[in-house]
Structure 1
């Protein structure tokens, strides 16, 4: 039996950066011609091949769509150097980490529906949502055996939550 963390990969890291100053929307539009400002969103969306920046006038930037922190740092540095005005980030924190894995071998999907921490609404979404503790970490399990773990706040907790699933679900429930 393969354990969950043996085939686990980071799908997305969302990081929040606070800059040392407020931003000018006019200057952003001047420096970044390909930025989008959708009507129903209070910030700008700056897309790169390796990630996306959600830029707010307040000086806050959310980086999403990256698989590691160093890529997020590179994107922020790229933005700051092009914006200039001695702008740089003063703080940053991880908002969410999403990882993917796969249950190897057969498992009883129907039995998993009866776990006390599970919820399933097939009319709305094709996967079982499963909570195993009081944290905000959610496991989303599909019939194919694919598992998405979301709500993680630090990279060090990934093996712990994979082990928690293996111990609480695979060893006892599946």
Structure 2
């Protein structure tokens, strides 16, 4: 049905460990890939390579996970983090995990007339002097696709893969291609 191809490039999760306060200094001194400089940033950065993910940990027990290419990979990374924290003596259970954003690269295999799209669709933003892409917001959702003249796009704001596919279908069904 669709000619477009997409690839998930980043999954962002919010992770909440209940009733725990993290000693970020302790974590930083015990995990080789952890970086903590409270004078620059109040959170600790921790990277793992398999599955690839980066975490921002805060003393409150809240964590952001980013950099995974799948939701499953991000959730697996959170499981590894939980095990590491338990091994360091923190009393953490399975955290609450919520998908915040799935960032996707899209190739529509066609060119777009961004000025025409901006004139014809009310949920768009286009200011080529500031940014070369057009922001196309999907109605009734937090999903937006940044469209570029050459036919590439970046989909942001989706929490499920179905939302990405719906947004791509909407662009393909409603936006006229430039005749080459």
Whether 2:108 is the aligned partner of 1:103: answer yes
1:74 alignment partner, one of 60, 70, 76: 76
Deviation at 1:159, TM superposition (A): 1.8
Superposed CA RMSD in Å reads: 2.3
Aligned to 1:163: 169
Alignment of 1:14-93 (within 5 A): 14-20=12-18, 21-38=20-37, 39-49=39-49, 50-84=52-86, 85=89, 86-93=91-98
Deviation at 1:121, TM superposition (A): 2.3
TM-score where L is the length of structure 2: 0.82
| Counterparts of 2:129 and 2:111, CA distance in 1 | 25
Relative to 1, partners in 2 of residues 1:106 and 1:25: Cα closer, same or farther, differing over 3 Å? closer
Aligned to 1:3: 3
List, as ranges, runs of 4+ consecutive aligned residues in structure 1 with deviation greater than 6 Å: none
Question: Is this contact kept in 1: 2:2–2:172, CA < 8 A?
Answer: no
| Counterparts of 2:109 and 2:137, CA distance in 1 | 20
Structure scoring higher RCO (CA < 8 A, sep ≥ 6) equals 1
TM-score where L is the length of structure 1: 0.85
Gaps of 5+ in 1: none
Deviation at 1:94, TM superposition (A): 0.4
| Counterparts of 2:6 and 2:176, CA distance in 1 | 15
How many residue pairs match? The answer is: 171
Relative to 1, partners in 2 of residues 1:138 and 1:22: Cα closer, same or farther, differing over 3 Å? same
Deviation at 1:78, TM superposition (A): 2.0
| Counterparts of 1:165 and 1:36, CA distance in 2 | 41
